[in-house]
Amino acid sequence: MAKRVRAVDPWKLKRWYRIIAPRIWDEREVGETAASDEKLLYGRTVEIPASMLTGSIGHAQYFVKFRINQVVGSEARTEFVGYELDNAYIKRLTRRHSSKIEHVFDVTTRDGAVLHVKAITWTAVKVSNPKKTAIRKIMQKMIEERAKKLGKDELMKEFIIGDLMQKIASEANKIAPIRRTEVAKVRVLSQQGAEKVAEATA
């Protein structure tokens, strides 16, 4: 007579790991994940509202994406790979009888990372195409200049809680009345330069 074999619950074979945000966010715990082997964690991504990092509900419209790149004990440590502004928030800012000016471009940070950036400025009134072009130039120029002074993680934090967006809006306001400027999306295209800087300073 064959012996009955009891099935093993695969979850009992897994170990739980705390997901840790990068150093610039004070290495806060932002979640948990499970894996039967820590090697399976590498490359896994997690997306969280920025309010979990800043403690401010005013930043809940930003969704930050991290990727696990190191496992130390029960900690799964991460690196920043992108963020995106909530679509519902963008729709609320977009109104009739005004202009939404979008601009997509790449910037290189001080530590050599290349970021793909989408910036948006909302005006209070409809504006002409030449004015839209001028505002796009302001967005790109000011973000590029800031990127040269900041590392990848520092720049991402600046986009969310810094005053760069207000400065851009203030400059663009010389061309047309501005309601708001936001960096709506960021994606890391390359961070080899940033990784070399991190290794040198470790």
Topology of domain 87-201, CATH: Tetrahydropterin Synthase; Chain A (3.30.479)
Q: Closest by alpha carbon to 21, among 39, 47, 43, 42?
A: 47
> pLDDT tens, 47-73?
999 999 999 999 999 999 999 999 999
Indicate the range of 100-104, 131-135, 197-201 predicted with least confidence: 197-201
Domain ranges of the chain: 11-85, 87-201
Identify whether the C-beta of residue 115 lies closer than 8 Å to the C-beta of residue 187: yes
How high is the pLDDT of residue 180? 95
Tokens (6 digits) for 84: 């995106």
Identify whether the C-beta of residue 16 lies closer than 8 Å to the C-beta of residue 41: no
Give the pairing of strands 75-85 and 15-20: parallel
Give the pairing of strands 45-49 and 62-72: antiparallel
> pLDDT tens, 136-149?
999 999 999 999 99
Instruction: Tell me: pLDDT of 99 over 70.
Output: yes
> pLDDT tens, 170-189?
999 999 999 999 999 999 99
Can you give the pTM of this predicted structure? 0.85
Whole-number percent of the chain with pLDDT over 90: 85
